[in-house]
């Protein structure tokens, strides 16, 4: 489960690095928008990554699980963002999509890196 900790810690480190500049640019809404974007991007990624770990077996099986999980991630992350943006427009303004883009791409890249660098052993990434 070490790789799960890397995924969470890396994403939280990015949030810590970006929240102050975001607050300076967008004000108080940056807190709500950034935390919502972080949750919408990280939680589906964790679910997908757990699926990849449970898939075990060959690297090909893990990659198929990762690619299959991409559809789930898109539906949950971007769909959730779309709902927040449309139903709470005073809180989730256009700047929310900047947060979503940064977190989505970072989490996706980190997850792919972790999947690709795993060893072939069944306990890899734990």
The structural domain count of the chain equals: 1
Q: What is the pTM (predicted TM-score) of this model?
A: 0.85
125 found inside a domain: no
| pLDDT tens digits, 88-124 | 999 999 999 999 999 999 999 998 888 778 754 455 4
- For residue 57, what pLDDT is reported? 67
70 found inside a domain: yes
For residue 122, what are the CA distances in angstroms to 53, 54, 60, 125? Answer: 8, 9, 13, 9
Which of these ranges, 32-41, 78-87, 109-118, has the smallest mean pLDDT? Answer: 109-118
54 found inside a domain: yes
106 found inside a domain: yes
- For residue 119, what pLDDT is reported? 52
The residue range of the domain holding 38 is 2-117
């Amino acid at each position: 489960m070490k790789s799960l900790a890397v995924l969470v810690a890396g994403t939280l480190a990015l949030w810590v690095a970006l929240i102050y500049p975001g607050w300076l640019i967008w004000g108080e809404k940056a807190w709500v928008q950034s935390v919502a974007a972080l949750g919408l991007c990280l939680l589906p990624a964790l679910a997908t990554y757990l699926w990849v770990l449970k898939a075990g077996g060959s690297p090909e099986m893990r990659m198929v699980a990762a690619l299959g999980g991409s559809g789930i991630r898109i539906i949950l992350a971007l769909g959730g963002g779309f709902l927040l943006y449309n139903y709470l427009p005073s809180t989730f303004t256009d700047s929310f999509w900047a947060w979503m883009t940064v977190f989505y791409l970072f989490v996706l890249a980190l997850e792919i890196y972790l999947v690709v660098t795993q060893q072939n052993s069944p306990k890899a990434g734990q």
